[in-house]
Structure 1
Amino acid sequence: MTPADARSPQPQAKTGILIANLGTPDGYDYWSMRRYLNEFLSDKRVIDYPAWKWQPLLQGIILTKRPFTSGANYKLIWNEELNESPLMTITRSQTEALRARAHAEWGDRVMVDFCMRYGNPSTDEVLDRMVQAGCRRIVFLPLYPQYAGATSATANDQLFRALMQQKWQPSVRTCDPYFNREDYIAALAASVERKLEGRKPPKLVASYHGMPRRYADEGDPYYRHCRMTSDLLQRRLGWEDGIIDTTFQSVFGSEEWLRPYTVEHVAELARQGYTDIAVISPAFAADCIETLEEINGEIRESFEHAGGKEFTYIPCLNDDPAHVEVMLNVIRDNIGGWV
Structure 2
Amino acid sequence: MADPLRPTHAPADHPVLPREKVGVLLANLGTPDGTSYWPMRRYLSEFLSDQRVIDYPRWKWQPILQGIVLTIRPFKSGAAYKTIWNEAADESPLMTITKQQTAKLSARLTDRYGARVMVDYCMRYGNPSTESRVRAMVAAGCTKILFCPLYPQYAGATTATANDQFFRALMAEKWQPASRTLPPYFDDPAYIDALAASVENGYAQATEKPDILVCSYHGLPFRYLTEGDPYHCHCVKTTRLLKERLGWADDAITTTFQSKFGPEDWLQPYTVEEVARLAQAGKKRIAVIAPAFSADCIETLEEINEEIRESFEHAGGEDFTYIPCLNDTDAHIDALTGRILANLAGWLD
Task: Tell me which interval the TM-score lies in, with the shorter structure as reference length.
Answer: over 0.9
Aligned-partner Cα distance in 2 for 1:281–1:147: 15
Corresponding residue to 1:224 among 233, 248, 253: 233
Corresponding residue to 2:147 among 140, 143, 151: 140
Aligned-partner Cα distance in 1 for 2:131–2:252: 44
On the 8 A contact 2:256/2:270 being kept in 1, the answer is yes
Cross-structure match for 1:11 = 18
After TM superposition, the score normalised by the length of structure 2 is: 0.95
Q: Is 1:334 matched with 2:348?
A: no
Q: Is 1:213 matched with 2:222?
A: yes
Q: Is 1:303 matched with 2:331?
A: no
Aligned-partner Cα distance in 2 for 1:323–1:200: 24
Aligned-partner Cα distance in 2 for 1:7–1:70: 53
Aligned-partner Cα distance in 1 for 2:161–2:19: 31
Amino acid in structure 1 at the alignment position of 2:166: L
Could you say what the CA RMSD is over the residues aligned between the two structures, in angstroms?
0.9
Stretch moving more, 110-119 or 197-206 = 197-206
Shift of 1:196: 1.1
For residues 1-339 of structure 1, the aligned pairs below 5 Å read: 7-197=14-204, 200-339=209-348
Q: Which runs of 5+ in 2 are unaligned?
A: 1-12
Task: Give SS of 1:22's match.
Answer: strand
Amino acid in structure 2 at the alignment position of 1:236: R
Cross-structure match for 1:3 = none
Aligned-partner Cα distance in 2 for 1:91–1:72: 22
Post-superposition CA distance 1:145-199 (Å, at most 9, x none): 0000000000000000000000100000001100000000000000010111187
Shift of 1:337: 1.0
Shift of 1:110: 0.1
On the 8 A contact 2:216/2:289 being kept in 1, the answer is yes
Cross-structure match for 2:10 = none
On the 8 A contact 2:217/2:257 being kept in 1, the answer is yes
Aligned-partner Cα distance in 1 for 2:259–2:163: 23
Aligned-partner Cα distance in 2 for 1:200–1:313: 13
Q: Which runs of 5+ in 1 are unaligned?
A: 1-5
Aligned-partner Cα distance in 1 for 2:317–2:202: 19
Amino acid in structure 1 at the alignment position of 2:141: G
Q: Percent identity?
A: 65
Aligned-partner Cα distance in 1 for 2:306–2:211: 21
Aligned-partner Cα distance in 2 for 1:167–1:94: 31
On the 8 A contact 2:31/2:126 being kept in 1, the answer is yes
Post-superposition CA distance 1:40-71 (Å, at most 9, x none): 00000000000010000000000000000000
Post-superposition CA distance 1:110-137 (Å, at most 9, x none): 0000000000000000000000000000
Post-superposition CA distance 1:225-264 (Å, at most 9, x none): 0000000000111101111110000000001000000000
Amino acid in structure 2 at the alignment position of 1:235: E
Aligned-partner Cα distance in 1 for 2:192–2:210: 19
Task: Give SS of 1:20's match.
Answer: strand
Amino acid in structure 2 at the alignment position of 1:132: A
Shift of 1:200: 4.9
